Amino acid sequence: MSTHTETTHDHAGGDAGAHEHGGTAVNVKTLLALLVLTAITVGAAYVNLGSGNVVVALLIATIKASLVALFFMHLRWDKPVYGIVAMAGFLFLGIFLMFCVLDASSRNYYLPQNMHRTEVPLTPGTAPPSLTEILPETPDAAAAAPGAAAPAGEKVPVTEPKK
Amino acid sequence: MSTTSVDLPSHGGHGDAGHIDDPHHQHHFTTMEQQFDTAKLGMWLFLATEILLFGGLFVGFGMMQGRYPREFVEAHEHLVRWQGALNTVVLLFSSFTMVMAVQSAKNNKKDKTVFFLFLTIICACIFLVVKYFEYSHKFEEGWLPGKFYSAKGDSIPGSHGYATFFAFYFMMTGLHGIHILAGIGLLSWILMRAKRGEFSNAYYTPVDLVGLYWHIVDLIWIYLFPLYYLIQ
Amino acid sequence: MDYQVLTMGAKTGSLPRPRKNYLNESHGFMSWAGTLDHKRIGIMYLVGVMTAFLMGGTFALLVRLTLLTPTHMLFGKVLMTAETYNRVFTLHGAIMVFLFIIPAVPASLGNFVLPLMLGAKDVAFPRLNLASFYLWVTGALMAILAMVLGAVDTGWTFYTPYSTTTDGPVTLMTSAVFVLGFSSIFTGLNFIATVHKLRAPGMGWFDLPLFIWGIYSTALIQVLATPVLGITLVLLMLERGFGIGIFDPRIGGDPVLFQHFFWFYSHPAVYIMILPGMAIISELIPTFSHKTIFGYRAIAYSSVSLALVSFIVWGHHMFVAGQSQLATVVFSALTFLVAIPSGVKVFNWLCTMYEGNISLETPMCYAISFLILFTIGGLTGIFLGTLSTDVHLTDTYFVVAHFHFVMMGGTVTAFLGGLHYWWPKMTGRMYSEKWGRTACVLYTVGFNMTFLTQFFLGSKGMPRRYYNYLDQFQPLHAFSTMGSWVLGLSLFMTLAYLLASLRKPMDAPDNPWGGTTLEWQCSSPPIMHNFEDQPVVARDPYDYRPVKVR
């Protein structure tokens, strides 16, 4: 529902009343910034910052993504609704990640001493063995055979303190 | 309509809803501007779904990385950093050529539009060629997903972490590659339409929308690259 | 009364009846199969989802029949084996969830009514709308094929590691759900764009009918949550085919992670199911109370907040699954939060009815039934969200009863109400009120016989999805099964009299109920382009103030 009456320019195609924006200069500068940031992130990968490496890499990636979104994808000059839609996508993805990490980090499953309890080696091209081959028939059988492999989910004496 | 510039007839303002002459006008929209804005909103909503689709894979990757930190770090060393970086540069450049194509279409520059679209497609093809070399190297070495993993020489033999890493590698770069392929298809279609002179500053919606899609493909790679090639 | 009370749009038809309408505008298979008209697409969806409901309902009746006795005998023969039983309840769940209830209100009634209510000529992307329909059809055919090829026995939730290792066409079934997911995404995308961009002049956000707010909130969930289901199913299929090692514990995976992935979508999905139902109730109650809605903004905001908060509670499906205690507690607390907007709505509806001029036509009967059944369903959700009680009630019939109360007692009841409400608009005919009210009463009685009983079954310890059960549960099971017959009868009755109404001439008034929203300003049935002239909005959507007639 347009209300302005200019006939010369591209209101039908485009940028609801915005003035001249974008343009080759902006695009070139954005590209150069992106290339520089790429060089920085590759360079940073050769410096050992421990767990900081992931943070730095993701931070630079986010800056690059923002540049692409703001300038190449035009969000800088567009109506806010498009940016809100994009942010909603990232926000709910973040919620998903956050709760999964909350759960996994407060659970015992990922502790090193529990990591390889139920695993069996893979032979490429064949199906993994069925559970009946891995688990003993009854819990009593497991207790009766002290040298047997610890079955999944069974109460096994655990050395680390109870969480 | 094969001239490079189009003279717009008196625009379809909101007084003459029934009289819009643009052949692309859809009847349920009052103005071309409304139609364009709606199309753009639709595309952004679709891109949000793409963020969540790929995002699910990122979450799975992140969780498995927490599960197998040593194996993941070791496995990622099999990825060749310069190839990943080259692909990153290629895609960034293709985003540039894409936005230049949109700009050219908007400014009635038909030949430049065609040129930049063509460059974008070339970049996409280069990306896929590099990917091909990466994948064939993996196949040779046995760094394959899941039950097909057959490489030797891992420091924790018998751990599934390597197989899981490569499963995610192939899933994520594979899904991304499928999107690149789809993008090449879309870009080629837009290229043909541009050559026919269909786009002008009165109507360049398809170029803009394909551009948005292409930028998301680039954006996903911007996150894929560090996670797979640069983490240590 | 000194003066006549006229609402906007009189009860008797006031517009000249056009001879042409969207139904007789064009004829032939292709005019329907290739249509871009949202009304025709809505009708096609309606036929599709009703067929799915019939299929899913039949499986439900079979499940209940099998559980009539602990020996599963009928007329001296065992009705089905345990393996078959697992397949039948899986199919019941999968068909009802993915083929019926998720698309039902938005894609059938929503498609028809939303553009009309907005004063628009169509949805934002008519071709995408048709594509959504064909994706639904494709998904349905794939699911039927999976059924024919031996069906799946994993439960509709496809939990790993069983689903990654069991025989059967799991991949085909999950592919069908994947396709159906995209149908849902595209519908949601279409509706969001339509509500943002195609409103009539003068219709701001807070002039929108509450049905629109509900459908819009639903669409938000459809767009944001369904892609994660898509990727979950892909990961499941690849785990089956390639042994990725993400969900199967024998190869290092985490089955609880599958549940996180699955429920991140599936919890918001239940709000995809209920929000449109609530949206319909928000239309029915003011219309049949002849009174403006109480707390318009509260209901509007609660619709959106319900959609958003639904994304942070999914772990309440996993309290005993192996999730960490910390996550469990957090999710339980958040679950209490999500009950609040629903409560706000129920109170607002009640306040709307209070001192209103209530007339008990069939749609209102269903609305009142909804208020009772949904409230019970919602409250029992709180018991399940409370950790201490959930430990005893989880995976029992209590849960089965709870979700049937909200999904069937809630959404299906509202769907039936909406179907009757908009039936004259869609078909141009009135159904028989006598049969309508009778069926509604029978439906409510049958529903309670079937499912109220199951609360008791569950709290006494009867597990869900079990083929075998202890003899002590037999009386309650039998009563529930007999209730299912009453319920089934009421639904068949409804189908029968609705179809019978189609044989009558098209003489329904344009506004039989005295509704105030824009869809009652066009003819029954509407013309192809909905409105002769572009409607302009100047009043509130629920303005029932009496107009003085000189």
Please count the residues of chain C: 550
Instruction: List chain A residues with CB under 8 Å of C224.
Output: 88-89, 92
Residue B155 lies in a domain: yes
Is 50 exceeded by the pLDDT of residue A66? Answer: yes
pLDDT of C4-32, one tens digit each? 333 444 444 555 555 789 998 899 999 99
Residue B200 φ then ψ, to 5°: -160, 180
> What is the CB neighbour count within 10 angstroms for residue C2?
5
Q: How confident is the model over C363-390, as a mean pLDDT?
A: 97
Residue C534 lies in a domain: no
Q: Are residues A33 and A64 in the same domain?
A: yes
Q: How confident is the model over C417-436, as a mean pLDDT?
A: 96
Give the number of domains in chain C: 1
Give the number of domains in chain A: 2
Q: Where are the beta strands (DSSP E) in A12-156?
A: none
Instruction: List chain A residues with CB under 8 Å of C256.
Output: 103, 107, 109
Q: Are residues A40 and A73 in the same domain?
A: yes
Q: Which residues contact B213 (CB under 8 A, 6 or more apart)?
A: B43, B46, B47, B183, B186
Is 50 exceeded by the pLDDT of residue A99? Answer: yes
pTM of the model: 0.89
> What tokens appear for C537 in the block?
């909005």
Q: How confident is the model over A7-33, as a mean pLDDT?
A: 67
Residue B187 lies in a domain: yes
**Neighbouring-strand partners of residue C463:** C396
Looking only at the bridges linking them, the beta strands covering C73-74 and C77-78 are antiparallel
Is 80 exceeded by the pLDDT of residue A152? Answer: no
pLDDT value at position A134? 56
Calpha distance B137→B166 (Å, rounded) = 13
Q: Which domain holds residue C180?
A: 39-521
| Contact state of A106 with C249 under an 8 Å Cβ cutoff | no
Q: Which domain holds residue B168?
A: 58-230
| Contact state of C128 with B160 under an 8 Å Cβ cutoff | no
Is 60 exceeded by the pLDDT of residue C248? Answer: yes
Q: What is the pLDDT along chain B (232 residues), one digit of tens a residue?
A: 333 333 333 333 344 445 677 888 898 999 999 999 999 999 999 999 999 999 999 999 999 998 888 899 999 899 999 999 999 999 999 999 999 999 999 999 999 999 999 999 999 999 999 999 999 999 999 999 988 998 888 888 878 899 999 999 999 999 999 999 999 999 999 999 999 999 998 999 999 999 999 999 999 999 999 999 988 6
Q: Are residues A53 and A84 in the same domain?
A: no
How many beta-carbon contacts under 8 Å exist across B and C? 119
pLDDT value at position A133? 60
Residue A161 lies in a domain: no
Domain boundary among A44, A77, A110: A77
Residue B225 lies in a domain: yes
Instruction: List chain B residues with CB under 8 Å of A35.
Output: 89, 92
Determine the distance in angstroms separating the CA of C328 from the nearest CA of chain B, rounded to an integer. 18
pLDDT of C299-309, one tens digit each? 999 999 999 99
Contact C504, C405 (CB under 8 A): no
Residue C19 lies in a domain: no
Residue B205 lies in a domain: yes
Is 50 exceeded by the pLDDT of residue A88? Answer: yes
| Most C-contacting residue of A3, A99, A133 (CB-CB within 10 A), to test interface | A99
pLDDT value at position A94? 96
B146 interfacial to chain C (CB closer than 8 Å): yes
Percent of chain C with pLDDT over 90: 86
Is 50 exceeded by the pLDDT of residue C3? Answer: no
Selection from C324, C272, C348 nearest residue C98 by Cα: C272
Q: Is C402 helix (H, G, I), strand (E, B) or coil?
A: helix
Q: Are residues A50 and A61 in the same domain?
A: yes
Residue C73 φ then ψ, to 5°: -95, 145
Partner residue facing C238 (CB), from B17, B55, B171? B171
Contact C182, C229 (CB under 8 A): no
| Contact state of C243 with A99 under an 8 Å Cβ cutoff | no
Residue A105: closest C-alpha in chain B? B66
| Contact state of B160 with A119 under an 8 Å Cβ cutoff | yes
Q: How confident is the model over C408-412, as a mean pLDDT?
A: 97
Residue B7 lies in a domain: no
Tell me, what CATH number does B140's domain have?
Answer: 1.20.120.80
Give the number of domains in chain B: 1
Is 70 exceeded by the pLDDT of residue C217? Answer: yes
Confidence of residue A132 (pLDDT cuts 50, 70, 90): low
Selection from C133, C113, C288, C284 nearest residue C215 by Cα: C113
Instruction: List chain C residues with CB under 8 Å of A131.
Output: 161, 165, 250
C247 interfacial to chain A (CB closer than 8 Å): no
pLDDT of C494-505, one tens digit each? 999 999 999 999
Partner residue facing A102 (CB), from C252, C256, C327? C327
| Contact state of A101 with B159 under an 8 Å Cβ cutoff | no
> What is the CB neighbour count within 10 angstroms for residue A37?
17
pLDDT value at position A111? 52
Q: Are residues A105 and A64 in the same domain?
A: no
Calpha distance C355→C204 (Å, rounded) = 29
pLDDT value at position A122? 60
pLDDT value at position A127? 64
ipTM for the assembly: 0.93
Instruction: List chain B residues with CB under 8 Å of C230.
Output: 53, 56
Residue C532 lies in a domain: no
| Contact state of C228 with A127 under an 8 Å Cβ cutoff | no
pLDDT value at position A131? 56
Instruction: List chain A residues with CB under 8 Å of C317.
Output: none
Instruction: List chain A residues with CB under 8 Å of C228.
Output: 96
| Contact state of C224 with A88 under an 8 Å Cβ cutoff | yes
**Any idea what the Cα angle at residue C468 is, between residues C463 and C473, rounded to 5°?**
65
pLDDT of B98-113, one tens digit each? 999 999 999 999 999 9
Is 50 exceeded by the pLDDT of residue A145? Answer: no
| Contact state of B92 with A12 under an 8 Å Cβ cutoff | no
C-alpha distances in Å from residue B213, one per residue of A32, B29, B49, B182, B183: 21, 24, 12, 10, 8
pLDDT value at position A158? 39
pLDDT of C507-542, one tens digit each? 999 999 999 999 999 988 999 988 888 888 877 888
Which of A110-119, B176-185, C188-197 has the least mean pLDDT? Answer: A110-119
Q: Which domain holds residue A50?
A: 22-77
| Contact state of A97 with B62 under an 8 Å Cβ cutoff | yes
| Most C-contacting residue of B150, B160, B170, B175 (CB-CB within 10 A), to test interface | B160
pLDDT value at position C2? 34
Helix B81-106 vs helix A24-44: crossing angle, to nearest 10: 170
pLDDT value at position C70? 93
Is 80 exceeded by the pLDDT of residue C383? Answer: yes
Contact B54, B168 (CB under 8 A): no
Contact C458, C401 (CB under 8 A): yes
Amino acid at C264: F
| Most B-contacting residue of A6, A8, A27, A105 (CB-CB within 10 A), to test interface | A27
A127 interfacial to chain C (CB closer than 8 Å): yes
Give C114: exposed, middle or buried? Use CB within 10 Å, 0-12, 13-18, 19+. buried
| Most C-contacting residue of B24, B27, B45, B61 (CB-CB within 10 A), to test interface | B45
Is 60 exceeded by the pLDDT of residue A154? Answer: no
Residue A63 lies in a domain: yes
Instruction: List chain B residues with CB under 8 Å of A38.
Output: 85, 88-89, 92
Selection from C388, C439, C389, C385 nearest residue C417 by Cα: C439
Determine the distance in angstroms separating the CA of B137 from the nearest CA of chain A, rounded to an integer. 18
Tell me, what CATH number does C267's domain have?
Answer: 1.20.210.10
pLDDT value at position A1? 41
C150 interfacial to chain A (CB closer than 8 Å): no
Chain C neighbors (3+ CB pairs < 8 Å): A, B
Determine the distance in angstroms separating the CA of A71 from the nearest CA of chain C, rounded to an integer. 23
Determine the distance in angstroms separating the CA of B132 from the nearest CA of chain A, rounded to an integer. 22
